[in-house]
Each structure stands twice: as C-alpha cells, then as structure tokens.
A and B are shown apart, each in its own frame.
Chain A
Amino acid sequence: GAVVSQHPSRVICKSGTSVKIECRSLDFQATTMFWYRQFPKQSLMLMATSNEGSKATYEQGVEKDKFLINHASLTLSTLTVTSAHPEDSSFYICSASGGTLPEAFFGQGTRLTVV
C-alpha cells in the first residue's frame, strides 16, 4: 500500500517554543491530508483537513493560530505547534489520501512532550 512518512517520531520541547511536524506521502500524490490528535487511551480527534494549495479547514474548538498547517505540495504537509505548552503534549498523527483508493494512509505518529 501507499506509504506516509511522519517526522519526527518523538520530540521534547520547552514551553513557549514552536515545533514543526512533517507528513510526507512517499509514493502517491496526497491531494488531501488530515491531522489528528490522540489523548492517552482515547480516540482520535480530527484537528484539521488540508487540501494542497488551499488554507486548512479546522474543526470546531481547534485554534488555527496555535496549530498552523501548511500543505504546499502534493507530497508534504506540515503542522506547527506554536508557543507550545504542557497541555499540548499529545500524540499527533497525519493521514493522507489521494488517487482512487477510498482509504487514508497514516503516518507513524509524533509523540510531543512539552516541558
């Protein structure tokens, strides 16, 4: 199946700094990418949907100024957590879809710890 690479897998940052997470589709053109957040022992929460070349569509309750999403090409989307705080610590997962297959393909996830 298609491969989605997410980087970094783990990151620890100081409170107040910004962190960028990359999501790349390696062997297909991802017209749409999704960013999810997963709290411990809970389900996935969709944060935003991004289409290549357009502004991301954020779900209700997600701060667009805090979670900056860029989808500049058909193979790369980035999520930047700005001015991170300990409550932003979580597992972030991207997924990408494109082509004729109905399913989305997921990155490996990024464990963010803000200290």
Chain B
Amino acid sequence: GNSVTQMEGPVTLSEEAFLTINCTYTATGYPSLFWYVQYPGEGLQLLLKATKADDKGSNKGFEATYRKETTSFHLEKGSVQVSDSAVYFCALSEGSRDDKIIFGKGTRLHILP
C-alpha cells in the first residue's frame, strides 16, 4: 500500500541555518505530494505541494521537488527563523478527490535564536 517515511525528529537548528527534512514515499500510482505544517497549539496548514514529477513546490522560503526516480520529496529552506519552529508532515494523495491523505509521522523542528 501507499506510505510515507520522513526523518525522525526532533531537529534542532540555529537561526539562519540550512534545513533539510527528508521524505520518501511508496505509491502504486502517480500521487500528489504535500508538506503540511502544524504550529504549536494549532491545526494543520498546507505549506506546499507538487502534483507531478519534477514539479517544485515553494512557499515562505520552503521548497520541495517531486523526484519520481528517487521517490522523494525533501523539504528545504536556506535560512530558517525561530518562527519556523513547528511540526512538519510529509503527505501523499493518489489525487482523486475522494482519496485520503497519507501522512508521515511528522518531524518536530526547533529553531534556536
């Protein structure tokens, strides 16, 4: 079945450091891929998405590229801020509107000032 594997946290970085959170997936078809972010005490927000191979999703300085050959969708940011401290979830969907979202376990990110 479909699944998502992402690096375990917590990840602790200093402000302005480079961030990579790894995410790989297994899927039978051609899924859409997402990164969701959950700030402390809040629900989930869509951070970025990519719907086909080689697409790059980007938002708020974060980027992720849909790599079909390596079945990966790693999240990157060149210079993190304290306000980026949150839990990040990699997710996939087969893309049909009724299809459920399958999440990774989440990676907690702490940014130190």
Contact = CB atoms under 8 A, between A and B. Distances in A.
Contacts of B93: 102-104
Given A98-B97, A103-B93, 11 more contacts: A31-B98, A34-B100, A43-B104, A43-B106, A51-B98, A95-B44, A102-B51, A103-B34, A103-B46, A105-B46, A109-B44
Contacts of A12: none
28 contacts: A6-B43, A31-B98, A32-B97, A34-B101, A41-B108, A43-B103, A43-B104, A44-B44, A44-B103, A44-B106, A49-B98, A49-B100, A51-B98, A95-B101, A97-B97, A99-B97, A102-B49, A102-B95, A102-B97, A103-B32, A103-B46, A103-B49, A104-B101, A105-B46, A106-B43, A107-B43, A108-B42, A109-B43
Q: What interface size band does chain A fall in?
A: 20 to 34
Contacts of A51: 98
Interface in B35-84: 36, 42-46, 49, 51
Interface residues of B, number: 22
Contacts, number: 59
Contact of A109 (B36, B42, B46, B98): B42
Contacts of A61: none
B25 interface: no
